[in-house]
Chains A and B, each alone.
Chain A
Amino acid sequence: MESSAALSQLSSSLQSGHVLFLAIHVLGTASFAYIVWRRLVPLLRAQPDHRFDHPFARLGKLAKFWFGQWKHPRYPTAGTLHILIFTGFILLVIRSFATLLAGVSIAHGNPAIPGSAGHFYDVVTDYAATVVFLCMLFAIVRRLVFQPVRYAVPERYGKAHTADAIFLLALIAVLMAADGLFSAAIAAAQLKAGHPSEGLALFSLPWALQMALASVSLTALGKFCFAGFLIHQITFYFLLCYRPFGIQFHVETSLFNVYFSKLERGTLKPVRWGLGEGHLDQLKSFGVKTFEDFTWKHMLDFYSCADCGRCSDNCPSNAVGRPLSPRFFSIKARDYTFQHYPMFGKSGNGKPLVGNLLSEDQIWSCTTCGACEEECPLLVEYIDKIVDLRRGLIDDGNVPQSLQKPLKALESRGNPYGKMEKKRADWATAKDFQQTCKVRVLDKNGASTLYFVDSITSYDDRMQSIARSTARILERAGENFGILGAAERDSGHEVRRFGEEMLFEALQEHNSEAIKGSGVKRIVTSDPHALNALKHDYKDAPPVEHISQVLARDVKAGLIKFQPLTNTDEVYTYHDPCYLGRHNQVYQDPRDVLDAIPGLKRVEMRRSRDRSFCCGGGGLMLFYEPKEDERMGVKRVRMAAEVGANLIVTACPFCMANIEDAIKVAGLEGKMTVIDLAELADRQMVRHSSPTAIPI
């Protein structure tokens, strides 16, 4: 028998299902279109979002995070699995559609691409399908037997998602197997007809199935071919229409979610996109109160969450038992969307989210450290949503009593402690200090550089030492600098992140005016929160740097030199402050400064750099009384002890406050010390006149 005859035998076998196949095509496609349209309904009712700019930057993100699967290797096992499956899917796209076409005519469907390129593609996809199939089996075993902790669902968040995950994994395995069976039946028929030239890829899944079908009659092969096709087609359309109801919707949405993802770190979304400056007063309501107050992109985030648990695995709030888990924030919000925007019937309910979907404690529990966003492979955003929800709470007056006093004090005194404005520069007039270092309060055109001190470093007895060290470093480096003194107000960084936008604007306007009036060309700060505010929240502020960046540069240039450490038994570790590291990407400079100190032994904690573990949060977070099992700082201090460090260096006054407290709470007093990078640099710095270090 000729090979064409064998094919026509299969062809006629498929032909018998022609009407059925066509009906499934039409039904499947129409259902999918309907489902997608229904899923788009909430997005169309959502708030605007500004995501259509910078197409090249966005394509770049797509290339890196979507096509390049950039974040995945951070979790080696799951990441490798995902990269293999993703690559398999990408490769199989053409083949899959070709197979679907085969129901119309086998000649159109097999092979997918004509010629030798086609044969190469077939071989590659035979292996791709095999790899995906094996990955599914492995993933199922992993879920059932090894049960990674991060997939577990704590009781308060509902039932485990294992069954759904396995069901979906199994369906993909079936899809691969069915496609393999279809190809195997055709190949076996060709072989039977003495036409083995373009066989299936050796040791692949279709090849194994072909071997199994070797002794089957041509008629039976026709039936296998038919069955393979039908199962593939039904599974394909079932998956297509089922995915929008669960965690696998990201297969469709990820492309858009990554393309429309946030481009700039450290920034916050405005209260309302598209509203001109100074028009905030026109808004009837602030922030997110009902589901429809979210932007369409934030809703897309909910759809795109793949329930992988990487965010919560890294969330410090979740780690210490606060009532916040970014993973379940997204999952619950997605379930809420499905419930209130069903496939049939009335959409939306307009009810407040707080009390229904979210609790106030949950919303205040976030330190905005950014660990969740750093980890998310799909670039889901959390901080903007939390801040928007806080804006809503502030607007309704729902603010914990513990935060009301500092907010009121910020309004009347420009600092959360309610201290007098005129005492803001008192740290600089301390007697011992003033004799060695004179800090000028700037008037017009007083200096080229402004040292922006911010509230905690200005007023807190302990943190004032950081201010004095910073001033001495700037002086040693020959900077022409000064401070704003009583004219400085709180940078408002946390005020904004706690949702009090109008108060932030007032603080910002005051400071911007004062900065402008001082005529400085650049700003240096020792507070990463001030750094982030001045850099990302303030409009038209001069360029701003953190003192660690200045130090690193001056050390490199030889402007600042260090004396060797006298106590070489100490083991140092550097704790990355969230707003210096993750939000502003300054990881290496502080480490370079430390490594420039002769005799300094430095180790890295298990969580460092972009996986640094938040110490408990800065600014207003110091006033908030969260519900938690343990302090974040205590966990952090234990991480330092774990690697044998007895000296934690940080570069943020809030980290200092939290870690200092945590050392006491953890009972590590005398065994563990914390010092600010500026303090350490100041202590070790070789001075002008005398070669001995002045104690702080």
Chain B
Amino acid sequence: MEILVCARRVPDTSENEIVLNTAGNDIERDELVYSVNEPDNYAVEEALQIVARVGGTVTVATVGGEDEEEILRREMAMGASHGVLLSDDAFAGSDGRGIAAILKAFVTKGKYDLILTGVQAEDGAAQVGGMLAAMLDYPFASLVNSIEVVDSRKLKIGREIEGGNREISEIDLPCVLSIQTGINEPRYVGMRGIRAVASVPIPTHAASDLGIDPGTVGEAGAKVKRVYYFVPALGKGAEMLSGSREENIDKLVELMAAKGGLK
């Protein structure tokens, strides 16, 4: 099975202190460390496990600049056979639809049976997967937390439904799935693995290679533009505890007991 995983590089929320920039439209990006978007990492692991069972290759693609190579290498160290960078000045500032259009152009150049995305980017809107499927006219399933290969043309997929129920569906290939974290336990990528793929060349595709009209993507083609980015003011009903850890715990237990949360 030929699998394409669409991945994204995001600031690692657990290793950064996120502060807003002075313009108030983005976060301060100096001194940030980045990693692969966590749900995308689960998608790559799932792809690798499928390939281990039924054979095939895993390709990881991302839209971005040179910096994005870092996550492609990490996923290659994990076991992906190919990493592909979709990079062009014209791509900068794309909205979700723009990213989906770039990915669509790449998908149609190859021959993939299955396309996986993470359920959402940590700084994104969970929109690219669905749009990509629609543009390709492929079936789409979101929030997938199990995949079973039925035959070369069909998958059985599980989804978690609000309230803890599960749903199993059949879906025809080729299709696009958005992968939920928890579907597997992604393997560890050590320094050794990363070093081993450090000098593997990564093919780059520009807008012209993909047959994309630069006017339809990037900032020029974006129909959704971010206007503000801020930390919302505290609403009523929220109480911030500001004591020592012990005091906070005591206070929290007290509050929960008072509101009937603890029996």
* A residues with CB within 8 A of B: 280-281, 286, 394-399, 401, 403-405, 407-409, 411-413, 418-420, 422, 500-503, 505-506
Contact = CB atoms under 8 A, between A and B. Distances in A.
A420 B35 CA distance: 15
A280 B261 CA distance: 55
Nearest to B45: A397
Q: Would you call the interface of chain A mostly helix, strand, loop, or mixed?
A: helix
Given A413-B33, A422-B31, A502-B195, A405 B188 contact: no
Given A408-B35, A422-B31, A395 B14 contact: no
Contacts of A505: 191
Interface string B124-135: 000000000000
Nearest to A399: B188
Contact of A401 (B12, B185, B190, B195): B185
Contacts of A407: 188
Nearest to B188: A399
B17 interface: yes
Contact of A500 (B31, B35, B191, B195): B191
B11 to A, nearest CB: 11
A398 B191 CA distance: 14
Nearest to A394: B190
Q: Which of A397, A405, A412 has the most CB of B within 10 A?
A: A397
The 10 residue pairs across chains A and B that have the minimum distance between CB atoms: A397-B187, A418-B15, A399-B188, A502-B191, A412-B33, A502-B192, A503-B191, A397-B188, A418-B14, A409-B15
A408 B78 CA distance: 14
Nearest to B14: A418
Contacts of A412: 12, 15, 33, 35
Given A397-B78, A418-B12, A506 B33 contact: no
A403 B187 CA distance: 11
A413 B35 CA distance: 12
A506 to B, nearest CB: 6
Contacts of B16: 418, 420
Interface string B170-210: 00000000000000011111111101100000000000000
Interface residues of B, number: 20
Nearest to B74: A408
Interface in B11-50: 12, 14-17, 31, 33, 35
Main secondary structure of the interface of B (DSSP, over half): loop
A395 B192 contact: yes
Contacts of A500: 190-191
Contacts of B188: 394, 397-399, 403-404, 407
A286 B192 contact: yes
Nearest to B79: A397
Nearest to A401: B185
> Which residue, B31, B33, B189, B190, has most C-beta atoms of chain A within 10 A?
B190
A674 to B, nearest CB: 15
Nearest to B187: A397
A420 B30 CA distance: 12
Contacts of A398: 187-188
B190 A503 contact: yes
A426 to B, nearest CB: 12
Interface in B141-189: 185-189
B217 to A, nearest CB: 31
Contact of A420 (B17, B186, B189, B196): B17
Given A412-B12, A420-B17, A506 B31 contact: no
B203 to A, nearest CB: 24
A195 to B, nearest CB: 78
A251 B185 CA distance: 47
A420 B31 contact: yes
A76 B185 CA distance: 49
Contacts of B15: 408-409, 412-413, 418-419
A295 to B, nearest CB: 20
A394 B195 CA distance: 14
A528 B192 CA distance: 28
Contacts of A422: 31
A449 B191 CA distance: 32
Nearest to B244: A461
Contacts of A403: 188
B234 to A, nearest CB: 24
Contacts of A420: 16-17, 31
Contacts of A405: 14
Nearest to A393: B188
B189 A397 contact: yes
Contact of A502 (B14, B31, B186, B190): B190
A277 to B, nearest CB: 16
Contacts of B192: 280-281, 286, 395, 501-502
A491 B213 CA distance: 52
Given A401-B185, A412-B35, A281 B195 contact: yes
- Between B15, B35, B185, B196, the greatest number of chain A beta carbons within 10 A of the residue's beta carbon is seen for B15
Nearest to A409: B15
B96 to A, nearest CB: 27
B253 to A, nearest CB: 14
A501 B190 CA distance: 9
Contacts of B35: 408, 412
B42 to A, nearest CB: 11
A412 to B, nearest CB: 4
Given A395-B190, A404-B186, 20 more contacts: A281-B196, A397-B193, A401-B185, A403-B188, A404-B188, A407-B188, A408-B15, A408-B35, A409-B14, A413-B33, A418-B14, A418-B33, A420-B16, A420-B17, A422-B31, A500-B190, A502-B190, A502-B192, A502-B195, A503-B190
A335 B93 CA distance: 63
B48 to A, nearest CB: 10
A409 to B, nearest CB: 5
B120 to A, nearest CB: 20
B183 to A, nearest CB: 13
Contacts of B12: 408, 412, 418
Nearest to A504: B191
B79 to A, nearest CB: 8
Contacts of A502: 190-192, 195
Contacts of A501: 192
A41 to B, nearest CB: 31
Contacts of B78: 397
Task: Count chain B CB atoms within 10 A of each CB in A286, A399, A501, A505 and give the residue with the most.
Answer: A399
22 contacts: A280-B192, A281-B195, A394-B188, A394-B190, A395-B192, A398-B187, A399-B187, A399-B188, A401-B185, A401-B186, A404-B186, A404-B188, A405-B14, A408-B35, A409-B15, A412-B12, A413-B33, A418-B14, A500-B191, A502-B195, A503-B190, A503-B191
A505 B78 CA distance: 20
Nearest to B78: A397
B195 A411 contact: no
Nearest to A280: B192
A401 B190 CA distance: 13
Interface centre among A280, A401, A418, A419 (most CB of B within 10 A): A418
Contacts of B191: 411, 500, 502-503, 505-506
A394 B189 CA distance: 8
A404 B35 CA distance: 13
Nearest to A412: B33
A280 B191 CA distance: 12
A286 B188 CA distance: 14
Nearest to A669: B246
Contacts of B187: 396-399
B77 to A, nearest CB: 9
A317 to B, nearest CB: 22
A545 to B, nearest CB: 30
A403 B190 CA distance: 12
Contacts of B189: 397
Contacts of A419: 15
A411 B194 CA distance: 11
Nearest to A421: B31
